[in-house]
Structures are given as structure tokens and as C-alpha cells.
Amino acid sequence: MTAVASGKPFVLDAASLARDDTPIARSTVSAVNRRLLPFLFLLYIFNFLDRSNVGFAALQMNRDLGFSAAAFGLGAGIFFIGYSLFEVPSNLALVRVGARRWIARIMISWGIIAVAMMFVRTTTQFYVLRFLLGVAEAGFFPAIMYYMSQWYPASMRASSGARFMIAIPLSGAIGGPLGGWLLGLNGAAGLSGWQWLFLIEGLPSVVLGFVVLRYLTEQPGDARWLREDQREWLVARIENDKRRSPWNHGLPPLAALAHPMIWLAALPELLVTTAGYAYLFWGPLLFRDTLHLSNMQTGLLGGGISVISALALLLSGAASDRSGNRVGYAAALAFVVGLAAVSAAFIPGAVGKVVAISIMQIAVIAFLGPFWALPTMLLSGGSAAVGIALVNAIGNVGGFIGPNVIGFLRTRAGGDTGAFLVLGGMAFVAALVCLGMTKSRHLASR
């Protein structure tokens, strides 16, 4: 097939479609990057702020409302029960109504509930709203990853996914200092600082949900912001990737739930994510108590760690795309998570413990780049949406386990040594599972 790019004909054959260095490939991907990545990045910033800002709110909220460490750990983690239970149903709905409309619905509903967190007064209210927030957010990350798989060739998905997922650590870089500042508004207009935090960080999600409906394009073939030749190349390239995959892409959506490699991939995601969410919800308290910092100093330290994590994620995504060895990179980074967690358990000095915890989180974030390139290579279409949702649903159970491991063991043992040993052991198991996945003839070079 022959098309025209900027007045010059080009051929859409299998050989040219497999290359990323042709003029039409470079121009098309650059246009997609400019249009989609900044906006999707912004959406994920607020997604992660609204699920994780409770960690900073706890610096005041626990004292004001009399929440124990165990009660806070349960409330922080129960979000992920609602999230995981509704993850797959959410993405089944996405297949029916389309990614654009479903992403908008998710954002509007979660923004409203995120704002409602400012009215919490009892542990029961805390638990209920955190659970509902999880239900509302369910499906957002898989929806975005599925959406991006419709716009990026398979060979570019780790690096493009990394550019989107740097919103995870950078939400900390923004949320840390912002959270510290918002807590400083304590008493303004009769509201506590933690109430201001939930209000100011929740409202933008509602607004952005309506923007999604007008800004996002459902499929490359409908993208009028691409030239005709760019649309033709992108549609042909995505279809060519599907044909070249060793896996069967004709699966109906529900059949993805029985895909053995999807279940295997979910295990390391669960084990590594547990450490990440333990840090996310307990990191601010651990840093403040260990180094005796102010709220603002705690926020700035967390922000600095987030910036380093973002750089590590970009590097791991680009490196795994270049090598093609996504599973090997994921295994190495899971091992670093385990080593850092065990070090945090045994290092006696305050500074050394904080450094170890920081390295653990940096490695958790870097793990995401190579790891999340895998599910979209195993499946496509509606089955990819459901498969990604399943992996993310199982992985996010770690968001319930992580905060509760630290909360329970801190309450029972009066320290966090045992909690970090548990987190380290889980990460080592994740590394072994990833190494086992390299034995698969389909994933060894992926």
C-alpha cells in the first residue's frame, strides 16, 4: 500500500511498518506525544494526589480526629479493596462505552468523593469514603494504559508509558510541598489544614473530567489533529504489531481473565506495589518522626525523592525499550526493592534508614516502566483492557496490604523492623517470579 507524506509517497509494507526511524514514524509519534502525553500526565497527577494525599493529611488529621495507627492504616488501605473489586467491571464497561467517556466518568466521580473527605469526623466515615473513592477510581489506570496502546507501537510502550507514569512520583514532588503548605492553612475560614488539602486537591479532578470529553480522541482513525498520512501510518502500524505478536489477539474480553501469563504478571505487580504503597501512606510519618522534621520539611524531602524516582522511571523505560528485555529489567529492580527494604529494617542510624526507604521507593517507581509494557504486548483490543484491569486489580491489593502491614506491626511491636522485613521478602519473591518469566519463549526478549 502506498500513501503520501508531505507530498512524498511512502510504502506501508511490513518491513517499513516495523521500523521506528522513518520520517513518517518520527513525525507521527511526535504529534501523538505532543497531543496526548502532557494531558494524560496531568490527569494522572490528580489521580495520584487524590488517592495518596491522605498520607499528608494524617500529619494533622490523626491528631485532630483521634485516629490510631491501626485505624489510619485500615482507612488508607481500604481504598484498594473498593478499587480492586471494581477494576475489572469498570474496564468491561469501558469496552462498551469507549475509553474517552469512561475516563471522564471516573474523574468526575472520584473528584466529588475526594472533596467529600474534608467532612470526615469518625473512623466509620473515613472507612466508607475511602472505600467509595476506590470504587470511583477503579479502572482509571488500566483505561489509560489501554488507551495508550491504541496510539503507540509496541516497541515504544515502555518509554511512552514511563513518560505518563512519571506522574506517580511527580505527584509526590508536587503533593509534598503543596500538602505541607495546605496544612499551614490550618484555621483559615474555620477549616483545618487537612480539610483544605482535600478540597483544593479534589476540585480540579471534577473540572478535568469534563475537559476529557472534548479533548481526547477515541481512536487514531478519528484524529483530525493528525495529517491523513500520519493517521494511515499509525492505524497500519498498530494493526501490524497485532499480527506480529506471538499471542492470539482474537480473545473476547472475558477470556483475558483466564490468560495464564496475565495471572503470572499480576504476582510481581502485587508484591512490589505493596512496598510502594507502604511508603506512600507511611513515608511522611516515618520521615517526620525519624528525622524530627516539620511538615514543610517532610514535604520537601518527599518531593525530592519523587523527582529522583521520576528520572529513574524514565531511564528504566527507555533502557528496557532499547534492549527489549522488559522482564529482566523488572526482575533487577524488584531485587533492589527487596534489598533496600531489608536494609531499612536493620540500619540503626536515622539518616541511613531514610536513605534505604528512599531507595526502596525509587526502585518501586522505576519497576513500573518495563513492567507495564508487558500486558499490552500479550493482549490487545477489549481483551487488553480487561487483562490490564486484572493485573492492576491484583496489584493494587498491595495498597491494602502495605499500609496495614506497617500500621499493624507498629501498633503491636512498637517499631517498623518487622514490617520492612516482610516488604523485603515480598519483593525478593517478585524478582524470582520475574526471572521465571524470562524462561518463557515469548517474554524472554520482552
In order along its 446 residues, the chain shows pLDDT tens digits of: 445 444 455 556 555 666 666 888 888 989 998 999 889 988 988 887 887 788 788 888 988 999 887 888 788 878 888 888 888 888 788 878 888 899 999 999 999 999 999 999 999 999 999 999 999 988 888 888 888 888 888 777 777 777 777 777 777 677 777 777 888 888 888 899 899 999 998 999 999 999 999 999 988 989 999 999 889 888 888 887 777 655 544 556 666 676 777 787 788 888 898 888 778 767 777 888 888 888 778 878 888 888 898 889 889 888 887 877 888 888 999 999 999 999 988 988 888 888 998 999 999 989 988 887 777 666 656 666 677 777 877 877 777 777 677 767 666 666 677 888 888 998 999 999 888 876 655 554 44
pLDDT (0 to 100) of residue 5: 47
How many other C-beta atoms lie within 10 A of the C-beta of residue 39? Answer: 15
pLDDT (0 to 100) of residue 380: 59
pLDDT (0 to 100) of residue 385: 67
Phi, psi of 5 (to 5 degrees): -115, 115
Q: Distance between alpha carbon 177 and the CA centroid of its chain, in Å?
A: 21
Domain boundaries, the chain: 22-219+259-437
Report strand pairing: 2-5 vs 8-11.
antiparallel
Phi, psi of 134 (to 5 degrees): -65, -40
Q: Domain 22-219+259-437 belongs to what topology?
A: Growth Hormone; Chain: A; (1.20.1250)
Q: Is the pTM of this model over 0.75?
A: no
Phi, psi of 9 (to 5 degrees): -70, 145
pLDDT (0 to 100) of residue 83: 84
* CA angle in degrees (0–180, nearest 5) for 435-353-317: 40
C-alpha–C-alpha distance, residues 351 and 356, integer Å: 9
C-alpha–C-alpha distance, residues 390 and 88, integer Å: 6
Q: What is the largest CA-CA distance in the chain?
A: 72
Whether residue 363 contacts residue 333, with contact meaning beta carbons closer than 8 Å, is answered with: yes
C-alpha–C-alpha distance, residues 404 and 74, integer Å: 6
- For cell 486484572, name the residue: 390
Residues making up the chain, counted from first to last? 446
What amino acid is encoded at 115 in this protein? V
Long-range CB pairs of 32-40 (<8 Å, 24+ gap) are: 32/151, 32/152, 32/226, 32/234, 33/160, 33/163, 35/223, 35/225, 36/148, 36/151, 36/216, 37/160, 37/163, 37/164, 39/215, 39/216, 40/144, 40/147, 40/148, 40/164
